[in-house]
Structure 1
Amino acid sequence: MAVTALAALHRKLFDETDGNKFARLKDRLLNKHGMDERQAVLDILVGYAKEGQLLHWRNFLMTDIIALAEPGECGDFFTTCLDVPELSYWAVDGMLKSMGKAAYGPLVALAAKPEAKLSARAKAVKSLAVFSGQPFDRGLMLDPGHWKVEQLRLAEVLAWQADGYPAGHGFAAPATHASLAAPHSPLEKAAAQLEKKLAARRRREQDLAQPSNWLAIADPADLRQIAAHWTLPEHYQRFLACYSPLRVSIDGENYFQGLNLYGAAELVKRQHGYAWNPVTQESIAGWPEHYLVIADAGADPYCLDLGAITDGDAPVYTAEHGAGTWHFERHADSFVAFLTEIAAAA
């Protein structure tokens, strides 16, 4: 009975011309048969990727094929896909999963192939970097689909090939403060609560070439630059020094567009467009000079009032952007209260 049902679903999948209906059929195929009849389902999806009539779905199926395939499977299929422009991007990861280091040569060739799609060439470099631990992707955007041709670092990739593809060391995780594991003060407890939730996100997805959702020890040079601009309240200064956010974005009911919490490395630059015009190199009229922007939600600033520091802390104000003039409202009585709220929302 199961074979008959699978065969019927197979026929429906290949006959369907409506993309939405195809998606539902594909999901049914995976959910009902993907575990018990994995190999048969894999053969169906590979067959569709080769010959299916919905061209965009031939591309979309590649990630499902990669997820189903085990190491050593589908190597010939993925290798063939490298020469199919619509399939080459995801074929890169399929080859590495199937062939391991044996995929290095063809993927280096793809990266160096000027007539190939730039997105596929960049994907080859990015995936080779992740798989081998070589830092070809250092400082570049997480999505290689946005890379420029001059960012491919082909000279490094080719030198690595000539050297016999040595394994690299990858990227070290950002250094974190010990108090995150054993918090005592209200500031430390709020930071530790936020870190616990960020760590859960990192376990789901993390690329250490561009680490995100970390509370890290700040670079002393960044702290010196900040000190040259402002005298910060003690609690916020300690937060930046010990728990400086690295690409931390918070979702929650109070932040429907997401809240970006700034770190020490970006704090000075983040004042641009609020307190400072980087083009004219002048202060922007109408901005309260004692307000320091420490976060934003969809460009709505959250500011620490440096003119109201009490007991090592200061209140946080916010306003909507785009209104012509700023109308600030008190959001939290202190930075620690603000951080506690963020930690609860994350």
Structure 2
Amino acid sequence: MQMTNKNLQKLRQQIIDEKDGVKFSKLIEKLLKKYASTDREYVLQILTDYARNGQILHWRNFLLNDIIELVNDDETSYGDFFEWSITYPELTYWGIDGLLKTKGEKSFPALIKLVKNESLKTSIRAKAIKSISIYSKQPFDRDLPKDPGHWKVEDLRIAEVESWQENGFQYGDGYAQPKTHISLENPKTALEKTASKLNKKLEEQRTKNQDLSNPTNWLIIADETNILNIAKRWKLPENYMLFLTNYSPLKVFIDSKKYFQGLHLYGASELLKRQEGYSFNPVTNQIIDEWPKNFVVIADAGADPYCIDISQIKDNDAPIYKSTHGAGVWEFELYADSFLTFLKEIAGA
């Protein structure tokens, strides 16, 4: 490849020679920012050469993400590089995605070999299954953590993958989006409008980072059984019950400075279990007497509980109280005069 830019050639040599990780990071940042769009192929040559032979071992791995981003879909000329990368233990994890991007379904046999290789780390075998699942729209990753690094050996659906291979690598239908209530698109009441605003906020998060095998940050129509079980346990205010029924939070996490370590807003499927450690001790299987019987925990921020007081139901709503965990004694203070007020704060956080 002809090199025409002397400054770029000089930068390449600096990258090759640099031994300090911080300085190296700045050089790579400069390379990508200044030349990735104008000299993409030469930048890729610099990065792939370093990934193969560079002095700073952990950076050889880190650079794979930049390489994958710069390579175009089905750009087979980089297939050989990624075929090599999955044979190099430190590069295998991210090399899997590069191989899929450049060779597509032709990479399936090589990736299945990784899946079946018991000498590899579980995280690498899991990554191969996860990436295959996403590419082929097959549900090998269903109900498992989004990050394959958290999978266990027993989570690896190897028999399913092998059966899929024997049947010719058929493509699946992927995952349907969770079912949402129609009023989110056409809200009329104050509760509906607030839920709709929160949904738009969560939608921004889903657009950036969503995996429908294990969906997060959705407001969904609750399972009827969950609602019935909740109704058997407590008499909750109508506003909150309507929210749980029509807009049940599904793994909703609000990352905001307003809430210590972010806010987990509970859904109908988890509300009963989330009382554990507050009003109920799951180890001794006993009710905790110190906990106010009229407080139901509906959210927490770093384990600090936000509770709805079901003894003060008025106008179909009830106030929200907050406390700090780890202080030895629960000391509650009024946080919001109603659930709707609390929800408005969350939607605007």
Q: TM-score range by the shorter chain?
A: over 0.9
SS of the equivalent of 2:236 reads: coil
Query: Is residue 181 of structure 1 aligned with residue 188 of structure 2?
Result: no
Instruction: Find the partner of 2:36 among 31, 34, 37.
Output: 34
* Residue of structure 2 equivalent to 1:108: 112
**How much does 1:117 deviate?**
2.3
SS of the equivalent of 1:85 reads: coil
Number of residue pairs matched? 345
* Residue of structure 1 equivalent to 2:93: 89
State how far apart, in whole Å, the 1-side matches of 2:114 and 2:30 are. Answer: 35
Instruction: Find the partner of 1:277 among 276, 281, 284.
Output: 281
* Residue of structure 2 equivalent to 1:45: 47
* Residue of structure 1 equivalent to 2:67: 65
Query: Is residue 309 of structure 1 aligned with residue 313 of structure 2?
Result: yes
* Residue of structure 2 equivalent to 1:144: 148
State how far apart, in whole Å, the 1-side matches of 2:138 and 2:255 are. Answer: 33
Which letter maps to 2:24?
Answer: F
State how far apart, in whole Å, the 1-side matches of 2:226 and 2:143 are. Answer: 18
* Residue of structure 1 equivalent to 2:330: 326
* Residue of structure 1 equivalent to 2:225: 221
Which letter maps to 1:164?
Answer: G
Query: Is residue 164 of structure 1 aligned with residue 162 of structure 2?
Result: no
After superposition, give the CA deviation of every residue in 1:97-151 in whole Å (9 maximum; x if it has no partner): 1011111111111101111222111100000011111110111111101211111
More displaced stretch, 157-166 vs 67-76: 67-76
* Residue of structure 2 equivalent to 1:255: 259
After superposition, give the CA deviation of every residue in 1:57-90 in whole Å (9 maximum; x if it has no partner): 0000000000001122411110111111000000
Which letter maps to 1:193?
Answer: K
Query: Is residue 15 of structure 1 aligned with residue 17 of structure 2?
Result: yes
SS of the equivalent of 2:32 reads: helix
Which letter maps to 1:29?
Answer: L
The two structures have a TM-score, normalised by structure 1, of 0.98
State how far apart, in whole Å, the 2-side matches of 1:286 and 1:111 are. Answer: 50
SS of the equivalent of 2:305 reads: strand
After superposition, give the CA deviation of every residue in 1:232-267 in whole Å (9 maximum; x if it has no partner): 110000000000001111122321410100000000
Which letter maps to 1:60?
Answer: F
Which letter maps to 2:44?
Answer: L
Which letter maps to 2:81?
Answer: F
Query: Is residue 235 of structure 1 aligned with residue 201 of structure 2?
Result: no
* Residue of structure 1 equivalent to 2:26: 24
Which letter maps to 1:128?
Answer: I
* Residue of structure 2 equivalent to 1:130: 134
Written as runs of structure 1 = structure 2, the 5 A alignment for 1:276-295 is: 276-295=280-299
Maintained 8 Å contact 1:13/1:22: yes
Which letter maps to 1:222?
Answer: N
Moved over 3 A (4+): none
**How much does 1:179 deviate?**
0.5
Maintained 8 Å contact 1:260/1:295: yes
Maintained 8 Å contact 1:85/1:117: no
**How much does 1:181 deviate?**
0.7
SS of the equivalent of 1:17 reads: coil
Q: Give the CA RMSD over aligned residues.
A: 1.0
**How much does 1:184 deviate?**
1.0
Which letter maps to 1:335?
Answer: F
State how far apart, in whole Å, the 1-side matches of 2:310 and 2:67 are. Answer: 55
Structure 2's unaligned 5+ residue stretches are none
State how far apart, in whole Å, the 1-side matches of 2:147 and 2:4 are. Answer: 40
State how far apart, in whole Å, the 1-side matches of 2:137 and 2:255 are. Answer: 31
SS of the equivalent of 1:341 reads: helix
Which letter maps to 1:160?
Answer: W
State how far apart, in whole Å, the 2-side matches of 1:151 and 1:226 are. Answer: 31
SS of the equivalent of 1:20 reads: helix
**How much does 1:2 deviate?**
6.6
State how far apart, in whole Å, the 2-side matches of 1:225 and 1:170 are. Answer: 31
State how far apart, in whole Å, the 1-side matches of 2:329 and 2:4 are. Answer: 67
State how far apart, in whole Å, the 1-side matches of 2:52 and 2:295 are. Answer: 59
Which letter maps to 1:12?
Answer: Q
After superposition, give the CA deviation of every residue in 1:146-170 in whole Å (9 maximum; x if it has no partner): 2111111100000000000011111
Instruction: Find the partner of 2:8 among 1, 6, 9.
Output: 6
Percentage of pairs with the same residue? 53
SS of the equivalent of 2:315 reads: coil
State how far apart, in whole Å, the 1-side matches of 2:288 and 2:70 are. Answer: 55
* Residue of structure 2 equivalent to 1:196: 200
